[in-house]
């Protein structure tokens, strides 16, 4: 497993580099073929390679990704290493160790009938080219097991994930000379300030007592305005990140954002964007988490814990189409997307054994 992990980590796979992704798909495909005895179907969409293995009629979907957030060349400053029981390197936790565990778990099973493996190449950028493939496959399955890293450094599973929405609030004003006749302009920067405060107010209301909006965050992020230092800005733009625990909250926040009104006379708003990944709600994972807990006890692995997390994954999508989903079954470690990213080697075999038991039970 360690040798396989080294091979994957040394094969860099930045989401935006299609050449690197093609090399990565070949490497991951070869690993999967060696351990399962079957060649993958390679599905290329807009230059992004995705891999799929299907054994019989799919009942359980094993979901992962081979792309990472690390640009090609990151190995020079964050080289592969193994020290003090931990493996390090770009993408080692998110989620190359999860892929290694996945294939070794399958290799330990006497039969793979009813199993589908789908590994996409664009999860880190929102899965724009693989969304339909993921949803189509999940609709045909009765369970989805997601090989994203554990929720913490001790192996907690991800039993709920917030959904994510993205918005752009565009402000249209009118340009004028800032020194000669600023009164003839409609200042988009001033209106943008009003909208930032209004958006922050939605977030504050979500925190201050509306039961439907508990756990919601509304965060203005990127802000831009104007064209020159001596011109009343004619245009401005505010980007907004929204995280929600339920579909009802996602819809309510969508309504509130689309009801924003300009405060500066003459200014106009253009609001674009909306719901991205829906939330993975606790009910979607409850049955699978109970099964995983029983199987962990059978294996002598101690009680499992489940946590709700704010980040999103493709598990949000499988749950949204009605497929029961359990996330965070991948590697145990820390520092995903950070310089200190690492995997605990002592947890790789136990996690692979738990996954193998889950696959055997859900595929039968």
Phi and psi at residue 271, to the nearest 5°: -105, 120
As a whole number of angstroms, the distance between CA 110 and CA 326 comes to: 23
As a whole number of angstroms, the distance between CA 103 and CA 240 comes to: 38
On whether the CB atoms of residues 145 and 289 are closer than 8 A, the answer is no
On whether the CB atoms of residues 278 and 319 are closer than 8 A, the answer is yes
- Residue 103 Cα distances to 26, 34, 339, angstroms: 15, 9, 27
Q: Express the helix, strand and coil content of the chain in percent, nearest 5 each.
A: 40, 25, 35
**In Å, how far from its chain's centre is CA 57?**
27
On whether the CB atoms of residues 314 and 65 are closer than 8 A, the answer is yes
Cis bond upstream, residue 95 (ω within 30) = yes
* Catalytic choice (4, 6, 12, 67): 67
* Catalytic choice (6, 12, 122, 123): 123
On whether the CB atoms of residues 85 and 346 are closer than 8 A, the answer is yes
259 is a catalytic site residue: no
191 is a catalytic site residue: no
Catalytic residues: 67, 123
């Amino acid at each position: 497993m360690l040798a396989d992990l080294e091979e994957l980590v040394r094969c860099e796979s930045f989401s935006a580099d299609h050449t690197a992704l093609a090399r990565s798909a070949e490497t991951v495909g070869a690993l999967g073929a060696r351990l399962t005895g079957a060649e993958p179907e390679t599905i290329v969409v807009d230059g992004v390679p995705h891999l799929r293995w299907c054994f019989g009629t799919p009942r359980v979907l094993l979901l992962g990704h081979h792309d990472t957030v690390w640009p090609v060349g990151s190995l020079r400053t964050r080289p592969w290493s193994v020290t003090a029981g931990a493996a390090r390197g770009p993408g080692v936790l998110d989620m190359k160790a999860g892929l290694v565990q996945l294939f070794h778990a399958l290799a330990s099973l006497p039969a793979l009938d009813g199993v589908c493996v789908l590994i996409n190449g664009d999860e880190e950028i929102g899965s724009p080219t693989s969304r339909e493939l993921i949803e189509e496959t999940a609709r045909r399955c009765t369970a989805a097991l997601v090989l994203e890293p554990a929720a913490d450094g001790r192996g907690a599973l991800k039993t709920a994930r917030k959904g994510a929405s993205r918005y752009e609030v565009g402000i249209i004003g009118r340009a004028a000379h800032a020194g000669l006749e600023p009164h003839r302009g409609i200042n988009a920067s001033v209106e943008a300030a009003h909208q930032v405060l209004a958006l922050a107010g939605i977030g504050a209301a979500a925190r201050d007592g509306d039961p439907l909006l508990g756990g919601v965050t509304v965060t203005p992020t990127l802000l831009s305005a104007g064209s020159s230092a001596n011109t009343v800005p004619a245009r401005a733009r505010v980007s907004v990140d929204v995280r929600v625990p339920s579909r009802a909250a996602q819809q309510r926040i969508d309504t509130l954002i689309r009801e924003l009104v300009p405060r500066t006379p003459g200014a106009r708003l253009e609001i674009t964007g909306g719901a991205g990944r829906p939330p993975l709600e606790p009910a979607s994972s409850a049955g699978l988490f109970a099964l995983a807990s029983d199987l962990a006890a059978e294996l002598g692995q101690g009680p499992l814990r489940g946590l709700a997390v704010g980040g999103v994954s493709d598990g949000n999508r499988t749950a949204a189409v009605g497929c029961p989903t359990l996330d965070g079954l991948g590697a145990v470690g820390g520092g995903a997307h950070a310089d200190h990213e690492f995997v605990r080697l002592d947890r790789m075999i136990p996690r692979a054994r738990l996954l193998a038991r889950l696959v055997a039970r859900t595929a039968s």
